[in-house]
A and B are shown apart, each in its own frame.
Chain A
Amino acid sequence: MYDLKALYEAESVEHAIRLRLEHPEAQIIAGGSDVLVQMREGKRAGKELISIYGIDAMRGVTIDEDENIRIGSLTSFSHITRDPIIQKYINVLGEAVDMVGGPQIRNIGTIGGNTCNGVTSADSASTLHAWEAIVELTGKNGVRRLPIGDFYIRAGQVDIRAEEGEIQTAILIPKASYENTFGYYIKYAMRNAMDIATLGCSVNVRLSPDKKTVARARIAYGVAGPVPMRAQSAEAVANGAEIGKEMIDRFGLAVLNDINPRDSWRASKAFRQHIAVEMAKRCLFESIKRAGGEI
């Protein structure tokens, strides 16, 4: 038995918004692999829950009328990994979420929950930052869309306006972001499964038509600061640069200007900085190779 005060089950997005306005103190629960565990630990004990898990309209991956990839917020990690649209256009996201927890967690865990909990170590978050994802929130005043970088406010807190009844309904990847772009993700953790990232790094590139220079590079980290973050000075090094080992080395070192990891019981700041450089280089190397470039 869970120590929960009441359970309100939303049948549709409109219903969820209504429930949220009626019960401002209630916690939203999607797959529950964070919320229920925290409840078990006593952190959220005695709370009311609004379950959105039953809203099937919020599941699945589609291409919308503006050619954005639209990922319903309740789409589970395993369904993202297996989805043909994801595999075709943004395979790295499927690979990244395939490193979350273990298989059963990937069947219950949702991309919406992974981002709404505002945790820096979320395996989806660095890739979504690196691909400039757009977060779609639906509330009583309609739909609000904002860049994922603005969605994260601080550790554990994201920009969802509970007073407007908002819930996250989708994550969008714009065509300008995914077109002709190839990426790679590395999760550094102590174990191969059932572990939280010590550091996560996601890189993607678009190459020039002759595949000799990097037209656009993007890199983002999880656990390199209180929230997932881009490493913009590293991007500046790679953008427009000729492909080569020397450029990759400079790209790696430049991330130290951007990231701000901390000492924690998982790893020291110095260690995280050390692996951040190496992971950036390896991710860029693999991304270039996937894009058809030669190094």
Chain B
Amino acid sequence: MAQYKLIHCTINGKEVEKMVDVRASLTDLLRNDFHLTSVKKGCEVGECGACNVLIDGEAFNSCIYLAAWADGKHIRTLESLTGPGGEISDIQQAFMEETAIQCGFCTPGFIMTAVEILETKKLYTRDELRKLLSGHLCRCTGYENILNAVEKTMKRRLGVPVE
């Protein structure tokens, strides 16, 4: 017999209330109930990072996070980065400039981890960034351009010269 739970949370800054099936993952909730399709269904076992979202500022693979746990949490997906006039954010722009995207499937997950990294306002080395981004798989780019995009945005935001 199906079991439901009423949850209250904020999704991309908006307070919402939803009756969730307790069997649902957070990926299911975000995609099916809120049509936030930047949250990709990849491996669904927490290995590829395509479903990554921010929960209270930390990156989580939403495929292995129960929708019922979202109660009381602040959830952000890639859609939250859109400006009021539909503009894209600096990190998305950098992904375009650096050709850090090919098929695009891994991109929302990578960008949300990048947001977590950028919000620490710390200057990381290339090796540190590599480790911080290691929870994502990309089969197109070979990662170098993704690292370039994140490094460039980090330096721009911190006012550090970009080579």
Residues of A that sit less than 8 Å from B by CB:
1-4, 6-7, 9, 32-33, 36-37, 40-41, 51, 53-54, 78, 101-105, 107-108, 192-194
Contacts and interface: CB of A to CB of B under 8 A. Distances in A.
4 A-B pairs with the lowest CB-CB distances in the bound complex, closest first: A102-B135, A193-B134, A7-B22, A1-B23
A136 B23 CA distance: 31
Interface stretch (B63-71, B74-82, B95-103): B63-71
A78 to B, nearest CB: 7
Contacts of A54: 69
B61 interface: yes
A108 B68 contact: no
With most chain B CB atoms within 10 A of its CB, the pick from A33, A40, A103 is A103
A50 to B, nearest CB: 12
Given A103-B134, A104-B46, A193-B134, A51 B64 contact: no
A103 B132 contact: yes
A193 B132 CA distance: 10
Contacts of B5: 7, 9
Contacts of B25: 1-2, 36
Given A2-B25, A40-B44, 14 more contacts: A1-B24, A1-B25, A2-B24, A4-B22, A9-B68, A32-B65, A32-B66, A36-B25, A36-B66, A51-B68, A103-B113, A103-B134, A107-B59, A192-B134
Nearest to B45: A37
Contacts of A104: 46, 49, 52, 59-61, 113, 135
Nearest to B44: A40
Contacts of B131: 103, 192-193
Interface residues of B, number: 30
9 contacts: A1-B24, A2-B23, A4-B22, A7-B68, A9-B5, A32-B64, A33-B46, A107-B60, A193-B135
Contacts of A32: 64-66
Contacts of A101: 46, 135
B23 A105 contact: no
Given A102-B134, A193-B131, A194-B47, A4 B23 contact: yes
Interface string B11-29: 0000000000111110010
B61 A108 contact: yes
B135 A105 contact: yes
B45 A108 contact: no
Contact of B3 (A3, A6, A107): A6
B58 interface: yes
Contacts of A192: 131, 134
Contacts of B49: 102, 104
B45 A40 contact: yes
A8 to B, nearest CB: 9
A1 B69 contact: no
B65 A103 contact: no
B28 A1 contact: yes
A111 B15 CA distance: 32
Given A33-B46, A40-B45, A193-B134, A108 B23 contact: no
B44 to A, nearest CB: 6
A54 to B, nearest CB: 7
A53 B72 CA distance: 13
A40 B23 CA distance: 11
Contacts of B65: 32, 108
A51 B58 CA distance: 20
Contacts of A3: 23
Interface string B26-64: 001000000000000000111101001000001111001
A33 B44 CA distance: 11
Nearest to A36: B64
Contacts of A1: 21, 23-25, 28
With most chain A CB atoms within 10 A of its CB, the pick from B5, B22, B59, B136 is B22
A100 B61 CA distance: 15
